[in-house]
Structure 1
Amino acid sequence: MPKDDAKTATGTERDGDAGPNEPPTTGRDLAHAALEAAKAKAKERGAPPGRRRPSIGGGQNPRRRRWSGPGADARDPQPLGRLVSRLVADRGWNESVSGARVFAQWGRLVGEDVAEHAQPVALKDGELTVRASSTAWATQLRLLQGKLLAKIAAGVGNGVVKRMRIQGPTAPSWRKGPRHVPGRGPRDTYG
């Protein structure tokens, strides 16, 4: 290869721009030729000059401002409660969050005197299981069941708790370990 051809191929020396019939030899000439070809193609389609098409893969909308104005904007800081509410609604967690509110706000929902003697145990399919501290309180809660359901519905929402199952205190279990022998229990205690 002659010395002059090597310099032209690498683009280190230019005697002038490439002619219309000669292929471009430098990067600048290639870019200029590609730009001219794109302009000619756009002119054939009838697109106005200088107008860009929006990019397809996740680019920002060119009509949208890149700064926030004096009005409300979705990009403005949001209160945490609003963000959590939107997250709960989007994920479909409304029922489980409402059920958790029954347990968290039990004292406020039913009153402090009732909450002192009764604790919620489980909430499944709209049925709230409540354990009372004594059989007398279990009976009292059964009598107040309608009022308690109304208070819970007013505090948490309708349909979260549909019915209540009230249990009295449980007797201690003498079963210890995986094996069990049938009988009355320890005879030395209740002899």
Structure 2
Amino acid sequence: MASSERIVGSDGAALRGPDLARAALQAAREQSAQRRRTPVRKPVGAGQRRRRGWSGARPDDRDPQPLGRLASRLAAERGWADRLTSGQVFAKWSTLVGADVAEHTRPVELKEGVLTVQARSTAWATQLRLLQRQILKRIADGVGDGVVRRLKVQGPAAPSWRKGPRHIPGRGPRDTYG
């Protein structure tokens, strides 16, 4: 309330203290009563919704839902199903290919149905290439058909001779050996 405003009582005198508080309370009560008298307009289509009673013995949308069902529904609505399915390949790698193969290999990337797998040695890379059909079948049985269509096997990465932030193109360390 600004200092220039003055509340005047019925007798014309300025109100102060408890009289001012009583007048403010009375004005608030009158505003509240006036708001209650005005009807509230319902939005269009609000009358179409029917309120149901008890849900009954059968399952209903209002019943508590298992967390797994809610998570799968959320993933389907948001379009995450493909990414989650491909994530299962990485999570279940040892059970899909077996403990022995999983000990010497690791999945690196799954992009457009092509799974890139890196082996610890060239011998294991060769072995994976030979077992490619069996591995693809086991992945399809464990995760789903069509998730992995092709396997790309990489051997171990060669050591890099690049040291430091600057590099000069050339033959590398071979030209300094004598």
Same fold, judged at TM 0.5 (above)? yes
**Equivalent residue in structure 1 for 2:90, among 74, 99, 103:** 103
Matching residue's letter, 1:61: R
Q: CA deviation at 1:71?
A: 2.2
**Equivalent residue in structure 2 for 1:64, among 32, 52, 55:** 52
Tell me, in whole angstroms, the C-alpha distance in 1 between the residues paired with 2:81 and 2:177: 50
Q: CA deviation at 1:76?
A: 0.9
TM-score using structure 1 length: 0.65
Tell me, in whole angstroms, the C-alpha distance in 1 between the residues paired with 2:88 and 2:177: 43
- The alignment partner of 2:142 has SS state of helix
Structure scoring higher RCO (CA < 8 A, sep ≥ 6) equals 2
Tell me, in whole angstroms, the C-alpha distance in 1 between the residues paired with 2:51 and 2:83: 42
Matching residue's letter, 2:149: K
Matching residue's letter, 2:103: E
Paired residue for 1:138?
A: 125
Matching residue's letter, 2:106: Q
Paired residue for 2:151?
A: 164
Tell me, in whole angstroms, the C-alpha distance in 1 between the residues paired with 2:58 and 2:106: 48
The answer to whether structure 1 residue 154 and structure 2 residue 147 are counterparts is: no
TM-score using structure 2 length: 0.69
| Identical-pair percentage | 64
- The alignment partner of 1:120 has SS state of strand
Which sections of structure 1, spanning at least 5 residues, go unmatched?
1-26, 36-53
Q: How big is each residue's C-alpha offset from its partner over 1:56-105, in whole Å with a ceiling of 9 and x where there is no partner?
A: 3557823522x432321101111111111111111111111111110111
Tell me, in whole angstroms, the C-alpha distance in 1 between the residues paired with 2:177 and 2:107: 32
Matching residue's letter, 2:153: I
Which sections of structure 2, spanning at least 5 residues, go unmatched?
1-32
Paired residue for 2:76?
A: 89
Rg larger in structure = 1
Query: Cα gap change, 1:96/1:58 in structure 2, threshold over 3 Å: closer, same or farther?
Result: farther
**Equivalent residue in structure 2 for 1:129, among 116, 120, 144:** 116
Aligned length: 142
Structure 1 stretches of 4+ with a deviation exceeding 6 A read: none
Tell me, in whole angstroms, the C-alpha distance in 2 between the residues paired with 1:158 and 1:55: 49
Paired residue for 2:103?
A: 116
